[in-house]
Amino acid sequence: MNFYQKAIRLFKENKKRAAVITAMVLFVTALGFTCAFNLTRDITVTVDKSVASAQPETTTLTSVNMNQTVGQVLSANDISTDGYTVDVDLDASVRDVSDITLKANTKGTVSVDGQTIDYDQADKTVGDLLQTLGVQVGADDVVTPSADTALTTDVTAITVDRVEYKEEQRQEEIGFETTETEDSSIDSGTTTVDTQGVNGVKTITEKVKYMNGVRIDALTESEEVTTEPVTQVQRKGTKAAASSDTSSSSTAAASSDSGSSGTYTGTAVSVSSSDFDMICAIVAHEGGTSYKGAAAVMSAVMNRYDAGYASSPLGVLTAAGQFSSYLDGYYTMYLGGGYGSAVEQAVTDCLNGYRMHSYKNFHAGYGSGEYIVNQTFY
């Protein structure tokens, strides 16, 4: 066999082999396409209705064609996505997805920084929602309900209160103290101030809590006295008033005008200057600013005191339900000496034991009893 004949035979043999190989390749390719088209898998679908009292429902879809999209699979199984947020792309191939979760959107409002934000979201928690909405929450801010609360249909209103703390200082007065000694060289009812009292000042440092710009609480961190108070030094007179012509003539005038005979038969009492001022003011409003009217009222007061109605003359005047001048506060218009010298003398005389009469009760106007100036005593 020559070279030409050998070449022809080899070509024929290789042609048969090539045909066989080609046929086999075409068969395997066709088989691959067929298998790929019919390839399936199981898919787990979870539906969360965002209801606090209900658990998410999970369903396993079997033999799902891997050539389908997520949206096609859900639609084919009558699973609606309206009002839900799906955690994977609906156009994604199920070839790359094994679990699908649908969470129902919840609707509500977020109140923050003076604004109201409407939301329609499917975040897992309140904190997740705030992050989605771009609401920054500070370390001291208060979120209601709390940030870790599950975002369900029960949650319809969320509030973020801005809280900040500031260190602030303020000044406060320190009241001065008073030391008082008795001085027999000063008339009773008179007080002499030797050193005028002056209030001090202290600086208070506080940690102040503000919520939404409004001060709601403060914690004192320190106090420092910046100006010491000055103690007031004063002397109280104890010298008994002499039975002067003025008091005698006033007493006599009171007796003759009223028909009452006044005598120094009562208990003598010393009172502080502040009590004396208040007694005179109440008596002036009750009986008027004349000596006679004031002495008549003060005698009734002292008769009650002598009988044990109260532990002090002022206690008689300020007893519950007794003197309207005190109860209604009318006496204050006379405080500070506004009652005049006649009232002051009448009160002083009665404190020293003078009694115009023996009555303990009186009322304004005429009535069954002894009428003195503008009061009826009984």
> Within a 10 A sphere around the Cβ of 369, how many other Cβ atoms?
14
CB 149 within 8 A of CB 128: no
Same domain for 112 and 96: no
pLDDT for 329 beyond 50: yes
With CA atoms as reference, report the closest residue to 357 among 287, 267, 265, 260: 260
| DSSP reduced 3-state for 69 | strand
Report how far apart, in Å, the C-alpha atoms of 262 and of each of 203, 259, 286 are: 58, 10, 20
Percent of the chain clearing pLDDT 90 (strictly above): 54
Residues 282 and 367 in one domain: yes
Look at the chain and report how many structural domains it folds into. Answer: 5
Q: Is the pLDDT of residue 90 over 80?
A: yes
Residues 169 and 78 in one domain: no
> According to the 3-state scheme, what is the secondary structure of 72-116?
HHHHHCCCCCCCEEECCCCCCEHHHCCEEEEEECEEEEEEECCEE
Mean pLDDT, residues 255-270 taken together:
66
Contact 276, 189 (CB under 8 A): yes
From the CB of residue 265, how many other CB atoms can be counted at a distance below 10 Å?
10
- If asked whether residues 274 and 344 sit together in one domain, one would say yes
pLDDT at 52 exceeding the cut of 70: yes
Domain of residue 273: give its range: 240-377
Alpha helix positions (H), the chain: 3-37, 70-76, 126-133, 245-258, 273-287, 291-306, 313-317, 324-327, 341-351
| Residue 329 and residue 293 share a domain | yes
Residues in CB range of 193: below 8 A, 6 or more apart? 232, 233, 234
| pLDDT tens digits, 280-320 | 999 998 888 889 989 999 999 999 999 999 999 999 999 88
Q: Which residues contact 155 (CB under 8 A, 6 or more apart)?
A: 106, 108, 126, 145, 149
Same domain, 32 and 94: no
Per-residue pLDDT band for 3 (boundaries 50, 70, 90) equals low
Residue 157 and residue 77 in one domain: no
Same domain, 246 and 137: no
Q: What is the pLDDT of residues 105-158, one digit of tens each?
A: 999 999 999 999 999 999 999 999 999 999 999 999 999 999 999 999 899 999
What integer is the mean pLDDT of 42-59? 89
Q: Are 286 and 268 in contact (CB under 8 A)?
A: no
pLDDT digits (tens, 9 = 90+) for 183-202: 998 888 788 888 988 999 99
Structure tokens at 32: 């691959």
In a shared domain, residues 231 and 265: no
68 and 28 inside one domain: no
